[in-house]
Amino acid sequence: MSDAILGRCIGLIGGLGVGATVHYYQELAKAHAARGRVLNLVMAHADMNRALGAVQAGDLGGLAEYLSGLIGHLAGAGADFAVIPAVTPHICIAELQKLSRLPIVNLVEELQGEITAGGWRRVALFGTRYTVESGLFGLLRGVDVVAPAAVEIEFIHQIYMQLVSAGAGSPEQRDSLTRLAHLLIERDGVEAVILAGTDLALVFNDGNTDFPHIDCARLHLDAITRRALDSDARG
């Protein structure tokens, strides 16, 4: 088999939600196959408890150092760029980009571009408590991020952590989050709900999401595919 049909080598940091990692792997393989290319991927498995502990402690420097070490392994294995298929670890993206041996496909940058292009002005977030309470770590610009009530934030967080732990979702979890999305839209004037957690792909897809939304996982996957396959996306 000729190496000419391979895409650029993707370095994936897995383990920060096994279900999301599997979803990324499957979707990237399908995207490559649709373009007549072969997926070229290496993976390092992260310790989710260690990463989550750093987030809880506010140790952004420690988290960045840990992730940069994993990226170093990926670089050694031949990766051309790195991907973190999880939203919450992007809390340290500024610190990580300074340490990383590889360029990183930054999920937050992709989301910012989508918000700007779509003209969204008022959004809410679904994801971990740390993502929702911080308004995606204060990294979004030019948009009003509406905070749900404290009990609603905890409700979203608990369902999200169940998805992460199980690596799978249920119709009941999807229905509960859907009802809350409609409530935020009707009560708080939210224009769109940002699915700001890649494990939400375990319950939501284009066919079953009946509220205005922005899917971070899909945006990220599209950007990764462009970086891997497009001749003008080498940066």
Which fold, 108-216? Rossmann fold (3.40.50)
Contacts of 71 (CB under 8 A, 6+ apart): 11, 13, 44, 79, 82, 96, 100, 101, 102, 104
Spatial separation of the C-alpha atoms in residues 234 and 8, rounded to whole Å: 9
How do residues 34-57 score in pLDDT, each as one tens digit? 999 999 999 999 999 999 999 999
Which residues touch 167 (CB under 8 Å, ≥6 apart)?
17, 18, 19, 22, 202
> pLDDT (tens digit, 9 = 90+) per residue, 74-88?
999 999 999 999 999
pLDDT in tens, 117-144: 999 999 999 999 999 999 999 999 999 9
- Integer Cα distance of 18 and 12 in angstroms: 12
Q: Tell me the average pLDDT across 175-196.
A: 97
Half-sphere exposure of residue 217, counting CA atoms within 13 Å on the CB side?
Answer: 26
The answer to whether residues 235 and 103 touch, using CB atoms and an 8 Å cutoff, is yes
Q: What pLDDT is attached to residue 235? A: 46
Q: What percent of the chain has pLDDT over 90?
A: 93
The pLDDT score that the predictor gives to residue 1 is: 44
State whether residue 14 is helix, strand or coil. strand
Contacts of 27 by beta carbon, 8 Å cutoff, 6+ apart: 221
DSSP class of 195: E
- What is the per-residue pLDDT for 5? 85
Is residue 155 scored above 50 in pLDDT?
Answer: yes
Q: Is the pLDDT score of 233 beyond 80?
A: no
Whole-angstrom distance, CA of residue 21 vs CA of residue 13: 8
Question: Between these two residues, 6 and 50, which has the higher pLDDT value?
Answer: 50
The answer, yes or no, to whether residue 213 has pLDDT greater than 60, is: yes
Q: Which residue has the higher pLDDT, 174 or 231?
A: 174
Mean of all residue pLDDT scores within the chain: 94
- The string of DSSP letters for 128-148 reads -HHHHHTTTTTT--SSEEEPP
pLDDT tens track for 87-96: 999 999 999 9
Q: What are the domain boundaries of the chain?
A: 3-106+219-229, 108-216
What count of residues does the chain have? 235
CA 64 remoteness from chain centre: 16
Mean pLDDT confidence for 175-187: 98
* pLDDT score for 110: 96
Evaluate whether the domain defined by 3-106+219-229 bears CATH number 3.30.540.10.
Answer: no
Tell me if 211 sits within 8 A of 186, measured CB to CB. Answer: no
- Phi and psi for 79 in degrees, rounded to 5? -65, 145
- What pLDDT score was predicted for residue 231? 65
DSSP 157-173: HHHHHHHHHHS---HHH
SS3 115: helix
